[in-house]
Amino acid sequence: MQKRVFIVHGWDGYPEEGCFPWLKSELEKKGFTVFNPTMPEPLNPQIDAWVSFLKKQVGVPDENTILLGHSIGAQTILRYLESLHGNEKVGGAVFLAGWIHLTDKAYEDPGDVEIAKPWLETPLDWDKIKSRSGKFVGIFSDSDPLVPISDSEIFREKLGMIIVTEHNKGHFSGSDGIKELPSALEAILEVFQQK
């Protein structure tokens, strides 16, 4: 079976940002097929547009499908998993700076509050999400200015997520100088080894 990894970048992100090119290259060396698309309107992420785009990218999900989302990309994956039907499942999900809440520093201008509002206020069906994936890993930074570290505990409680805490990695963005992230590679490999 083809091992597939889908990387979902964050708000105002892009496929070549930060550690994504390195991660794609490392996974391809190990025989994975890696999809790292540009999400629709990265400066104005909308739930319906991002989830339906991810659905088209993934096609038929299976146990050899792993999803990695950065920031709002993790929110997108949560909502994608919630939208699956029947017996549809993925092998696992890895969240890089995933969030349920945001700090005040996340808003660079007043329009950002309106963009974030649906993501923050639309409820999540945690039980359904948990039923759609074999494993969840969350990677958080203790110096993330945008995501409260307490969100990691919510993910652990709701999804049984394995939590990895990195030190001084900011929001794991290209602007934070993160070009390689071995913990993300290890998390994906660990999810596949659980099969």
Please give the structure tokens belonging to residue 25: 């290259």
Average pLDDT over residues 115-137: 97
Task: Round to whole Å and give the CA distance between 155 and 36.
Answer: 24
pLDDT at 195: 53
Residue of 142, 161, 134, 145 whose CA lies nearest to 74: 161
CB 75 within 8 A of CB 123: no
Q: What is the model's pLDDT at position 45?
A: 98
CB 75 within 8 Å of CB 57: no
With cut-offs at 50, 70 and 90, classify the pLDDT of residue 192. confident
For residue 142, is pLDDT > 80?
A: yes
Cβ-based burial of 194 (10 A; exposed 0-12, middle 13-18, buried ≥19): exposed
Fold of 4-193: Rossmann fold (3.40.50)
Report, as an integer, the average pLDDT of 144-161: 97
**Percent of the chain having pLDDT more than 70?**
99
Distance CA 176, CA 182 (A): 16
Q: pTM (2 decimals)? A: 0.97
Q: What is the pLDDT of residues 61-111, one digit of tens each?
A: 999 999 999 999 999 999 999 999 999 999 999 999 999 999 999 998 889
Residue with the two structure tokens 């017996």: 87
Q: DSSP characters for 55-101?
A: HHHH-S--TTEEEEEETHHHHHHHHHHHH--TT--BSEEEEES--SS
Q: How many residues does this entry show for the chain? A: 195
For the stretch 45-75, pLDDT in tens is: 999 999 999 999 999 999 999 999 999 999 9
pLDDT at 194 over 70: no
Q: What is the pLDDT of residue 186?
A: 97
For the chain, count helices (H), then strands (E): 7, 6
Q: What is the mean pLDDT of the chain?
A: 96
Average confidence (pLDDT) over 106-121: 94
